[in-house]
Structure 1
Amino acid sequence: MASPKITLHHLNASRSNRIFWALEELGLEYDVRVYSRLPSLRAPPQLAEVSPFGKAPALTIDSSTISESAYIIHRLLALPSPNRAAVEATPSDDSVYWAAFAEGSLMNLMQAELTVAATAKAWERGMEAVFRPQTKVNLEQVEQYLASRPGHYFSGSTTPGIADFMMFFPAW
């Protein structure tokens, strides 16, 4: 079976950085199409021609384009790859949990913090009172968890898994 043709549609300062890591770890060949944010920090309209939501990351595998980081990583981990043994074979419960945490808890707070920081200074009090303390608690939990695991991977094993790829962006 021939290797699939893979193209990563990368937007600067986006979650697609975690897809680079997964592709490299798996040893898959891929092309990259880079999109630059507009002065408004929004994605350029050309990205909407690739992804129905006009967001990155988007990944084209042969003629099918998919989006959403976790789903992209899920699909990549299912592909035959030269370095398959270098990543978690079957996601552990820990790996699935931390993958969900990356977007469901940590990124929500980080996005909210960025949004509040970009608005009026009056919101600074809300960020100090709510977002930063909760982000600090979340990051302390992350550090505790990693410190107690061999290899310091979210997957709980000595190889990276879906959670490690998902946590890459918020931890980066």
Structure 2
Amino acid sequence: MLTLHHLAFSRSQRVLWLIEELGLSVELVRYDRTPEFRSPPELKKVHPLGKSPVIQDGDLTLAESATILRYLDGCYGANRFSPAPDTTEHAIHEEWLDFVESTAAGPLLTVLLSERTGEQGAGDRARPMVGNVLSYIANGLGDKPFLMGERPMLADMQMSYFLAMARMAKALHTYPTLTAYLDRLEAQPGFQRAQARGGPMLPAALP
């Protein structure tokens, strides 16, 4: 039985979106955040890092959104949400899939946390990096509806949470292409089902 350990307002929403697209039967174990907006200690019983998403599939326990997305699409989706292996498109897609957390997320999280804590120095230094990242995504998207073309793939699912954070940080208002892209992602039926099942991807503002 596949189990998804799902933390409210978290990256886990991306995994739940793919699960909905694949029509998988899953046990959804939900966790609320602490008053400080942190993961609850119960998640450490599932994975040593105490983070979400985490899936359990038989004896396998996996964390990290991109790894989980690849695993589920490969094992249960015949890789239909990835370009064909050994193609240029596949390599580009893999770069986008890893880019979200390896390059893009850090500066944006710094900006959001600086606004929450009032420590503006780090946020001021990170804002130019956020602008560079958003411009890079906008240029890569171009006039396509999704990163790789006409339909959303794993990289788009991965990108959804990052862009929602950017919207929360009020960083998208000068990027209408990305605002429209996020609107398309959130309008996808699988995304809508995931949100109905797992709750909103993010709160209106950080507490």
TM-score > 0.5, shorter chain as reference: yes
| Deviations 1:119-168 (CA, angstroms, capped at 9, x unpaired) | 2x3x325423x22222122112212211243xx322x2433333222212
8 Å CA contact 2:105–2:162 kept in 1: the answer is yes
Choose from 115, 118, 126 the match for 1:117.
115
**CA distance, structure 2, for counterparts of residue 8 and residue 126 of structure 1:** 34
Q: Deviations over 1:73-98 (max 9, x none)?
A: 111011134xx575225361111111
Contact 1:86 1:159 in 2 (8 A): no
Give the aligned partner of residue 94 of structure 1.
92
**Aligned-residue offset at 1:115:** 2.4
Over the matched positions of the two proteins, sequence identity in percent amounts to 29
Please name the residue that 1:48 is paired with: 44
With normalisation by structure 2, the TM-score equals 0.69
Structure 1 counterpart SS, 2:76: coil
RMSD across aligned C-alpha pairs, in angstroms? 2.0
Q: Which amino acid aligns with 2:31?
A: Y
The residue matched to 1:79 in structure 2 has which SS?
A: helix
Separation (CA, whole Å) in 1 of partners of 2:81 and 2:139: 22
Match for 2:84: what amino acid?
A: T
State whether residues 83 and 93 of structure 2, in contact with CA within 8 Å, keep that contact through their aligned partners in structure 1.
Answer: no
Correspondence for 1:162? 154
- Report Cα offsets for 1:31-54 as digits up to 9, x if no partner: 211101111222111111111211
Query: Which residue of 2 is the match for residue 132 of structure 1?
Result: 127
Cα distance in 2, alignment partners of residues 89 and 145 from structure 1: 16
Q: 2 CA distance for matches of 1:89 and 1:79?
A: 15
Which residue matches 1:153? 146
- Count of matched residue positions in the alignment of Structure 1 and Structure 2: 160
Letter in 2 for 1:158: E
Which blocks of at least 5 consecutive residues in structure 2 are unaligned?
165-207
Tell me the amino acid that sits aligned with residue 163 of structure 2: A
